[in-house]
Structure 1
Amino acid sequence: MADMVRVLHPDPKYNAAAEEVVIKLSGIVEQLNTNLPAYEALKNAMLHGDVVTLDDVDKRVGELLIMDFEQSGVHLDSDKKDLFLKLNESCVMLGNMFVQGAQTPVAVMKENLPEEIRHSFNIDGDNVLVTGLFQDHWNDYVREAAYRIYLHPIPQQTELLEGLLLSRHQLADLTGFPSFAHRALRGTLAETVGMSCICFIAMYKSITVNGEIIVVVLISLYARYSNFLRTLHTCNHLPVDLESGETWAHDVYKLAVVHSQEGVLGYIYCDFYERPGKPDQDCHFLIQGGRELGDGSYQLPVVVLKLTLPRPRPTCRHYSHPT
């Protein structure tokens, strides 16, 4: 949740406070991942059994935890563990700083832009501020100017990126991996660097020539996905009324995932549309995991799905109303 607030909340004070929380939590998690007695106790339970019989879920969770321990260098001596924690903190901080820098508007002198397209950007005195790629602008000259200006190399960003790559490589090398990619992909669906490359190449070849995704296609995919859920799991997505102040932006909406017999299975907050200060990267955040509580009740999972789609025009159908 802290990572979501860091990325999506419109108030910079909340962003800064959430970033501190993310860094501290990351440090605590890595300290736990380098706890040798906990690792040895878990491994012993997996090999010889626990005080209660482990079911398949217990065994799978145990395997994942052992994997976390081992790729965090639990086997390292004290000095190398301290180095691991420092490198991990460095990766988190450099990554956050790089992302923040990538979202910063780029200023250029007005005289360096053709007069007929200056009005498409924000004006600050003698400067023009380019806040993004303007990939959905109707004027191809505006898109070209935004692309060239916004993505022009910035020395400070290059320095941060090189520092991040170095820290990640040192982290991977310290824990016995050929590269950070090998470490990051372990235990994922991609499994290996080679398989990941095959996936990217196949994806590249399947992209259409102009690479555009129109609203009609998205609506069609959404409808098919809903039909798939209904058929396979007898589930459906239903809109939920929001409480006052429940969301961080006015155009965020909430869906309930509802099973035909078991009722609500969880909630999805949909933050789909671009707005000033919102990062371009599409991703999702876990706000609350599903689990059984001590009193026997079940805590419903809550997630946020973040996209950066252009805002719908009044004449267009809304993404949240596919039918």
Structure 2
Amino acid sequence: MADFVRSTHPDDSWRQAATEAYAMLFEFMNVLNTTPDLKIRLESALGDPKVAAGWNSEENMVAQILLRDFSKSAIDLPDGKRRAFVDLSNRISQLGTKFIKDMRPELSSISFQHRQLRDIDPLVLQHATGRHLTGISIPTVGPVAVTALRSMKDEAARQKLYIAGRTAPKAQLQTLQDFLQTRAKVANLSGYRSYAEMNLSDKLAQSPAAVNSFLLALSKDNELQTRQEMEEMLLMKKSEQGDGDPSVQIEAWDRDYYQAQQANKQRSRSRRPDFMSAYFSLGTVMQGLSRLFTQVYGVRFEPAPISPGEVWDPDVRRLDVMDENEGRIAVLYCDLFARPGKSPNPAHFTLRCSRRIPPSEIKEASVLHSNLDPMQVINDGMAISHNASSNTTYQLPTIALICDFEQPPSAAHAHAHPEPTLLSFRNVQTLFHEMGHAIHSILGRTAHQVVSGTRCATDFAELPSVLMEHFAADAHVLALFARHWQTDAPLPYDMVAERLAIERRGQGVETEQQILLAMLDQAYHSHLPLTITMPGGGGFDSTTVLQDVWDRYGSVREPRETSAQGFFGHLVEYGGTYYSYLFDRAIAGKVWQEVFAGGRDGAAVRREGGQRFRDEVLRWGGSRDGWKCLAGLLRDERLRDGGPEAMAEVGKWGVKG
């Protein structure tokens, strides 16, 4: 909740208070995780057959999760070292916040001669930072820089901009070094050889060796496509230069440019302008998601009235999620429009997790607050449901879905028909992705909130959301809602097929970049940060490590002048688990083919696949081992126990399509 408020609330005083609350709660959790009496009582319960025998599988899972949290927190060490653990953990939080806050290049802008920028759209150059007689200054990061790297024919100019945009200040690199070394110290204090080993102990991967087996298998699967894409770019570069120089090769600053040229050629061959957004008004997309979930999972969205003070911004809308058998099962707040001070990053926040409210808790509330409704006391007046047949009461998941869509300008005349919010196809994919997280929280049915919905292993949490991106591109799914906002004509699917074909160009190179970043994440969270002497002399240097990863596994060398790790903000959140998105992409592709038949013959909108996915994955949240979920879902017993072999098998599936 505090994380949500600090990222989203329009009032700066609320955001500041939430930031302070988040820091306090973070420290409090570290104190709890280093309180020996809690661990002693838990171990005593686990060791007592009379107690443990009465626990079901979910309760046992919760107990194991708590034990792992204790083991990560140096709880068995003397008081002084436990205090050191709390201090180091708090320092990690502070350094991580500083690293994210200070992510900016050493040079905010650089100058180019007018002729070097002649290939860039003049409308884009209007946002340049400065103009003078000899040239134009443009920012080194941001939309203008991205467009420039994709447009500038002058290779020297591209090289200059690429290097500047990927060179971080020395102070930022020092913050990163302190951050990584502090994490390594915490891991060592907790009895682990590295931070990655500590952080992976409760993930599907379980160990750095298993992650590396996955990444190497995935790299091998991706190698042929990457090579073909690089050869196509090289042919384009040689053709453009026309001097027959055999030493010409694709450099790091060439990739975006030649990929953009390839995409432009493909668009020009289609000879048709892209008007897809006219078929994706926000209201119809939300209606389409409701229709999809009705057919696949048996749940729908119903607009619900909002009480005074219930929401944080007038544009927020509330939807109640209704199950065809159980009635209301969740509350969804949609905060979908951009506004000043709001984080631009799309996100899903579970403000209140699902859990079962036991009769003993209701009875206790009745005794302690005899003049109040016990359910109001227990649940702060938020949504609950009661199943009379099973006599069970659930605290319903309460979810905020955050996007950054631009609202259309108001109609020029009072009588004009207002234009709805129209989404690009990428926006639609984003909304489907975030709704995949939401449906995980909505359909999770667990007794304990700590394993509810998305509160599962980090490397399993992206599966439902990535799978939803496959639905977003399916013809039968789009037929549920994609209609022109003015004419009501259905979307011609060949427009989508053309877009997907363009997006797939360069997928091999893009996947390679993600593999390299995942490998870098593993290296940074290995034993290396505390290494006094590295090969070649000197202590740990994050730039040297990055260059080594790219030299060994990349198809293009990273320029020696850069220090792109200073912008790798995901290091803070993921810490040894950046491979997770690639991992879940590979699994989602397999699930799409095996469970939903790749969308063939309308399989994407039939209950059979949805019920199977709901029963084997969604309803469990984190209360069941993810490998067992996958083994049941894909009917492949080889996956049930996980380990390096299972990780490598997933890597062989690849991330195509």
Q: TM-score, normalised by structure 2?
A: 0.40
Instruction: Give the match's secondary structure for 2:94.
Output: helix
What are the ranges of 5 or more consecutive residues in structure 1 without an aligned counterpart? none
What are the ranges of 5 or more consecutive residues in structure 2 without an aligned counterpart? 131-135, 153-157, 230-258, 264-275, 363-374, 376-392, 409-418, 433-477, 482-657
Deviates more, 1:183-192 or 1:133-142: 133-142
1:177 aligns to what? Answer: 192
Alignment of 1:120 with 2:127, yes or no, is yes
1:56 aligns to what? Answer: 57
CA offsets per residue over residues 231-268 of structure 1, 9 Å max, x none?
Answer: 56422344545556655566655443321121222233
CA offsets per residue over residues 174-206 of structure 1, 9 Å max, x none?
Answer: 112222222222222343334444269749949
Alignment of 1:303 with 2:399, yes or no, is yes
- Write out aligned runs for 1:17-166 (5 A): 17-48=17-48, 49-50=50-51, 53-102=54-103, 107-108=108-109, 117-121=124-128, 132-133=142-143, 140-141=150-151, 151-166=166-181
CA offsets per residue over residues 270-290 of structure 1, 9 Å max, x none?
Answer: 455666655565543331122
CA contact (8 A) 2:149 2:162 kept: no
CA contact (8 A) 1:251 1:273 kept: yes
Identity %: 22
Distance 1:84 1:35 in 2: 12
C-alpha displacement of 1:11: 3.8
Deviates more, 1:275-284 or 1:21-30: 275-284
Determine which structure has greater relative contact order: mean sequence separation of CA pairs < 8 Å that are 6+ residues apart, divided by chain length: 2
CA contact (8 A) 1:266 1:302 kept: yes
Q: Quick one: structure 1 residues 195 and 51, their matched pair in 2 at CA, closer, same or farther if it must change by over 3 Å? A: closer
Distance 1:5 1:169 in 2: 31
Q: Quick one: structure 1 residues 146 and 3, their matched pair in 2 at CA, closer, same or farther if it must change by over 3 Å? A: farther
Distance 1:66 1:254 in 2: 38
Q: Given residue 182 of structure 2, which amino acid in structure 1 is its aligned partner?
A: S
Distance 1:252 1:201 in 2: 44
CA contact (8 A) 1:106 1:131 kept: no
Q: Given residue 267 of structure 1, which amino acid in structure 2 is its aligned partner?
A: V
Distance 1:113 1:233 in 2: 58
CA contact (8 A) 1:122 1:130 kept: no
CA offsets per residue over residues 276-310 of structure 1, 9 Å max, x none?
Answer: 655565543331122244327432112334456x6
Distance 2:407 2:23 in 1: 36
CA offsets per residue over residues 196-238 of structure 1, 9 Å max, x none?
Answer: 44269749949997699x9799x9x999986775456422344
Q: Given residue 395 of structure 2, which amino acid in structure 1 is its aligned partner?
A: Q
Q: TM-score, normalised by structure 1?
A: 0.74
Instruction: Give the match's secondary structure for 2:82.
Output: helix
Q: Given residue 16 of structure 1, which amino acid in structure 2 is its aligned partner?
A: Q
Instruction: Give the match's secondary structure for 1:50.
Output: helix
Instruction: Give the match's secondary structure for 1:287.
Output: strand
**CA RMSD of superposed structures (Å):** 4.7
C-alpha displacement of 1:154: 2.5
Distance 1:244 1:136 in 2: 43
Distance 1:32 1:44 in 2: 18
Distance 1:96 1:230 in 2: 41
Comparing both structures, which one devotes a greater share of its residues to strand? 1
Aligned residues: 317
CA contact (8 A) 1:284 1:305 kept: yes
Q: Given residue 352 of structure 2, which amino acid in structure 1 is its aligned partner?
A: Q
2:206 to 191, 203, 207: 191
Instruction: Give the match's secondary structure for 1:102.
Output: coil
CA offsets per residue over residues 70-92 of structure 1, 9 Å max, x none?
Answer: 11111111111011000110111
CA offsets per residue over residues 94-151 of structure 1, 9 Å max, x none?
Answer: 1112222238998437x5685855422577xx98777734688699459x79976654
Instruction: Give the match's secondary structure for 2:27.
Output: helix
2:636 aligns to what? Answer: none
Q: Quick one: structure 1 residues 272 and 163, their matched pair in 2 at CA, closer, same or farther if it must change by over 3 Å? A: farther
Deviates more, 1:1-10 or 1:86-95: 1-10
Distance 1:129 1:246 in 2: 41
Q: Quick one: structure 1 residues 259 and 28, their matched pair in 2 at CA, closer, same or farther if it must change by over 3 Å? A: same
2:568 aligns to what? Answer: none
